[in-house]
Amino acid sequence: MSTKLQLVYSSGQIAASVGTLAQRIGYDYAGEELVLVVVLKGALFFAADLARQIGVPLRLEFIKLSSYKGTSSTGTVTVTKGLDGSIAGKHVLVVEDIVDTGLTLKFLLGYLNDLGVRSLKVCTLLDKSGRREVSITPDYVGIPCENKFLVGYGLDVDERYRELPAIYEYIP
């Protein structure tokens, strides 16, 4: 059988959700300086769209983690690209593409907390809360979603489909 992509969230739906998130974040951090810690590579397009609409001065940092192989989680997380600048004493907002089991985020929050941040919150575009294995609740959620394997708008299968402007269910 050949692989199928089924549309789940259109680019219009994504844009509306990103706009709402940016507005809430801009309101909550008004008057503060913010550091966005963008989780590569999946959150790349989301962060680019979000950062340009938040409306408070911010700095961008990128981190790369390894935890997911193909379509199943390995459960172990390692940092494969660390931050360039210091985030000690800063208000930090993690920008994630999707939270699934929560294992990646749990590790990341521990890692960033140890760097002496002033505050630490999480914004994720997609949240598969029904799949959680650890108790973690993102502070800002764009789209709560079902247990489907999604691709597009940054999300990949073996580095494919990231460039698609909408989000699709991947049916192998």
**Known catalytic membership, residue 114:** no
DSSP H or E stretch at residue 110: helix 103-113
What is the pairing mode between strands 150-151 and 140-144? unpaired
If the CB atoms of residues 28 and 156 are measured against ligand 5GP, the closer one turns out to be 156
Strands ordered across the beta sheet of 4-9: 4-9, 167-171, 150-151
Rounded to a whole number of angstroms, the minimum distance from the CB of residue 157 to ligand 5GP is 6
Q: Which residues bind ligand 5GP (CB under 6 A)?
A: 42, 67-68, 73, 96-105, 149-151, 155-156
Q: Which of 100, 114, 139, 156 is labelled catalytic?
A: 100
Give 81's strand partners.
Answer: 64
Provide φ and ψ at 77, rounded to 5°. -120, 135
Rounded to a whole number of angstroms, the minimum distance from the CB of residue 52 to ligand 5GP is 22
Query: What span, in angstroms and rounded, lies between the C-alpha atoms of 27 and 83?
Result: 26
If the CB atoms of residues 56 and 83 are measured against ligand 5GP, the closer one turns out to be 83
Rounded to a whole number of angstroms, the minimum distance from the CB of residue 136 to ligand 5GP is 8
Residues with catalytic function = 100
